[in-house]
Amino acid sequence: MVQFDRTLEYIDQLQHAGTAAAVCERLLGITSDFGLTALMAGTVPQPGTPTGQQKQHVLLCDWPVEWLERYVARNYVDHDPVVSHMKQLQAPFKWQEAAQGVRIDKSSGEVMGDAGSFKLRDGLAFPLITLDGHIVMVSLGGEAVELSAAEFGLVSLVSTYAIGRAMQLHTMAGKTIDHIELTPRERECLQWAAVGKSEWEISQILGISEHTSEKHLLNAKSKLGAVNRVQAVAEAIRRGYIS
């Protein structure tokens, strides 16, 4: 119950952030308690993308400026073990897992070594899939990261919500979501999605088709102004539709 209350409080803080910069600041205010003091979020450029265009892929950033400049100038994105691991795993993971899970060549080792020199020795990363299918990579780093399994889940959830909130601010261009009405089925589908059930599992639980459960979740995401499933769940929690 305490963890749920903390999550709700964090989501509320992020929801009241009015700019992308404020979202970034408030998210790091939360994650810094766990040693995660730097943030980078953006779409992953295609291999060989000119360095001059790579910064256009950044959505939120509070990385050491010199490290960001070096990362782009040396085209580290094509050799970063964290990026490679994210493409394969597509789930939250710790940087150390990426270093252990891929063969570290000279270039990969240089990326990790240089990050450490900027007090980014460890962190966590995960992909965020938007409704239109774009993949956003979220990476949080610091010098000494300490996370329990529950805290790992909390940070992943609030970080995903934060990126969704930043994208929402950008795409909504000043629009606000007033009172909305979710149907009983939409609420039920979100309730089960909140505990990690897939569209197929939800369909079996509720006795409906997988297509119908998917449609209910899409409708709920649209009504809530969410860019993905995780943000829809978080927004539903914040609004009291899920308890």
Note the pLDDT of residue 52. Answer: 62
At residue 163, what are phi and psi to the nearest 5 degrees? -65, -40
Whether residue 203 contacts residue 160, with contact meaning beta carbons closer than 8 Å, is answered with no
Q: How far apart are CA 125 and CA 145, in angstroms?
A: 13
Whether residue 149 contacts residue 142, with contact meaning beta carbons closer than 8 Å, is answered with no
Distances (CA, A) of 212 to 183, 187, 198, 200: 13, 13, 13, 10
Sheet holding 38-43, edge to edge: 58-62, 38-43, 135-142, 122-129, 93-94
Q: How far apart are CA 202 and CA 186, in angstroms?
A: 11
Give the type of residue at 107. S
Note the pLDDT of residue 58. Answer: 77
**Which one, of 122, 106, 225, lies nearest residue 175 by Cα?**
225
Whether residue 66 contacts residue 29, with contact meaning beta carbons closer than 8 Å, is answered with no
For 192, the token pair is 């089960």
Note the pLDDT of residue 123. Answer: 92
DSSP designation for 133: S
Q: How far apart are CA 231 and CA 239, in angstroms?
A: 12
Whether residue 30 contacts residue 45, with contact meaning beta carbons closer than 8 Å, is answered with no
**Which one, of 15, 11, 69, lies nearest residue 40 by Cα?**
69
Say how many CA atoms lie within 13 Å of 164 toward its Cβ: 28
For 54, the token pair is 């790579």
Distances (CA, A) of 76 to 21, 68, 71, 101, 225: 25, 10, 5, 18, 34
**Mean pLDDT of residues grouped by 10 in the chain (243 residues)?**
77 85 90 92 71 69 84 83 81 82 67 87 85 80 89 88 81 56 89 87 91 89 79 80 76
Q: Residue 171 CB: number of other CB atoms within 10 A? A: 11
Q: How far apart are CA 10 and CA 156, in angstroms?
A: 12
Q: How far apart are CA 189 and CA 68, in angstroms?
A: 41
